[in-house]
Amino acid sequence: MELWEIHPSLVHFPIALLIAGLCTDLYARARRSLSAGHVAVGLYIAGVLAGLVTGLAGLLAFYTVPPAHTEQAHDQVVWHLGLALAAVVLFAAVAWLRWRGWGELPSAGSLLLSLVAVGLLTAAGYLGGHIVYHGAMGIEPDLLSPQLAQHHHGKAGEARHASGGDHRSR
């Protein structure tokens, strides 16, 4: 596994945990179930922690991904990072609020904050997919058109391209 491949292997865990946290909180409020609310808090906390690890893996991916991709994809990574970070920060606030109110059902405010965070998370996920599927970021250079395979960012990309190695033969 290449370093840049860690991020896509982890990214689904925080997404699933955080959305499950919101769904469980909605269930807790609808059914007036404190125990379901406690599960939601655990899901939020686990999702935020997984999101932080995944975000660090994303930064690692940014600096180690093969250099062949569109310029647009390179620019969109900053937006992807910003949206994902905003979502994790909002979910961290929700986790903290819900943990502080351990013996209470989720408030309308915390549910609204979670919904906004899910919207940001969804936008970040969409953009991440767009970066890969439409911008070729993270695609092996040998699989790309010659124009994209020649696209470089910085010395690391030049050194990697100059080696001419077939990444699939490792």
Query: What tens digit of pLDDT does each residue of 54-85 get?
Result: 999 999 998 988 877 777 888 899 999 999 99
pLDDT of residue 150: 63
pLDDT at 75: 85
- Domain edges within the chain: 3-159
Please name the residues in contact with 152: beta carbons below 8 A apart, sequence gap of 6 or more. Answer: 67, 158, 161
* Token representation of residue 81: 């990072």
What is the DSSP secondary-structure string of the chain?
--GGGHHHHHTHHHHHHHHHHHHHHHHHHHHT-HHHHHHHHHHHHHHHHHHHHHHHHHHHHHHHS-S-S-HHHHHHHHHHHHHHHHHHHHHHHHHHHHHHTTTSPPPHHHHHHHHHHHHHHHHHHHHHHHHHHTT-TTS-GGGS-HHHHT---HHHHHHHHHH---GGG-
Whether 61 contacts 4, CB under 8 Å = yes
Structure confidence at residue 144 (pLDDT): 64
pLDDT score at 7? 95
Claim: this prediction has a pTM higher than 0.85 = no
CATH code of the domain made up of 3-159: 1.20.120
Residues of the chain under the 70 pLDDT cut: 144-170
